[in-house]
C-alpha cells in the first residue's frame, strides 16, 4: 500500500500543478522566441500528462501480481483498453493545446474565417471528444484491473484515510473544472466514472482504487454542483 499511496500522491501533485499552470499568469510567456507555444500549452501537452501517465502505468504494475489471471482474457482486455486510452489521451493533448493557443491568439476576433472555424472546432469540440474517450478508458481500465487483481492485504483505517486524502486533490481538480465554468460533456464523463467506481465499491468491497475514485469523483461532483448553485 505504501507504493500505491505514493503513486496516488503523484496524481494529487499533478492535479495541483494543472490548476496552477492553467490559472497562473506566469505560464503565459512564450517557450521560444519564435512563439510556437506558451508555457501553459507546453506544460499541458508534454510535462504534466507525461508525469501523470507514468504514475498511472506504475500504479497498474503495482496492482498486478503473479496469478492465473495474468494470462486470462480479462487481463488482456484491460491492457488493450489502457493502451488505447493512453494513445487517445496523447492525441487529444496534442490537438487541443496547439489549437487552443492558436484560437486565443488569432481567432477570438476572427471566428468565422475558414481557418479559424477549423482551429476552434479542434480546440472546443474534437479534442475534447477524444480526450474524454481516452480519459474514461484509462481510468476504467485501472478500476477493472483492481477487479482482476483484488488487493490481497488488509486495508487499515490509516490506509483508507490516506486514500481519501489523496482523493481530495483529484476532487479539487474536478471542482476547478466543473464548478466555475459552463458545464458540458465533462459533467457526464465524471458522473459516469463516479457511478462506476461506487458500483464496484458496493459489489466488490473495499479495494484501494474503488475507495479512491469513489471519494474523488463524488466529492468533486457535489462540490461542483454547490459552486454552480452559488454562481
pLDDT digits (tens, 9 = 90+) for 27-44: 999 999 999 999 999 999
Residue range(s) defining the domain that contains residue 24: 2-230
Indicate the Cα dihedral angle 204, 209, 211, 216, nearest 10°. Answer: -140
Query: How many angstroms separate the CA atoms of 124 and 78, rounded?
Result: 29
What residues of the chain score a pLDDT lower than 70? 179-181, 183, 231
Prediction pTM value: 0.90
Note whether 145 and 60 are within 8 A (CB).
Answer: yes
Q: What is the largest CA-CA distance in the chain?
A: 60
Note whether 88 and 120 are within 8 A (CB).
Answer: no
The domain total for the chain is 1
Write out pLDDT tens, residues 99-144: 999 999 999 988 889 999 999 999 999 999 999 999 999 999 999 9
Q: What is the pLDDT of residue 161?
A: 96
Q: What is the pLDDT of residue 22?
A: 83
Measuring CA to CA, how many Å separate 9 from each of 13, 163, 170, 227?
6, 9, 10, 25
Amino acid at each position: 500500500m505504501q507504493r500505491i499511496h505514493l503513486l496516488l500522491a503523484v496524481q494529487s501533485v499533478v492535479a495541483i500543478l494543472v490548476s496552477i499552470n492553467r490559472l497562473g499568469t506566469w505560464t503565459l510567456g512564450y517557450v521560444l522566441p519564435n512563439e510556437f507555444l506558451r508555457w501553459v500549452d507546453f506544460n499541458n501537452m508534454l510535462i504534466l500528462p507525461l508525469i501523470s501517465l507514468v504514475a498511472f502505468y506504475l500504479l497498474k504494475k503495482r496492482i498486478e501480481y503473479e496469478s492465473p489471471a495474468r494470462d486470462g482474457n480479462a487481463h488482456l482486455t484491460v491492457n488493450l483498453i489502457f493502451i488505447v486510452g493512453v494513445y487517445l489521451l496523447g492525441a487529444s493533448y496534442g490537438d487541443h493545446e496547439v489549437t487552443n493557443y492558436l484560437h486565443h491568439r488569432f481567432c477570438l476576433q476572427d471566428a468565422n474565417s475558414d481557418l479559424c472555424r477549423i482551429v476552434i472546432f479542434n480546440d472546443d469540440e474534437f479534442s475534447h471528444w477524444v480526450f474524454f474517450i481516452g480519459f474514461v478508458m484509462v481510468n476504467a481500465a485501472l478500476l477493472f484491473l483492481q477487479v482482476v487483481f483484488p488487493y490481497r492485504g488488509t486495508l487499515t483505517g490509516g490506509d483508507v484515510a490516506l486514500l481519501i486524502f489523496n482523493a481530495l486533490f483529484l476532487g479539487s481538480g474536478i471542482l476547478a473544472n466543473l464548478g466555475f465554468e459552463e458545464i458540458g460533456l465533462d459533467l457526464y464523463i465524471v458522473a459516469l466514472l463516479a457511478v462506476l467506481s461506487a458500483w464496484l465499491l458496493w459489489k466488490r468491497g473495499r479495494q484501494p482504487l474503488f475507495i479512491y475514485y469513489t471519494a474523488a469523483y463524488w466529492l468533486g461532483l457535489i462540490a461542483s454542483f454547490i459552486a454552480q448553485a452559488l454562481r
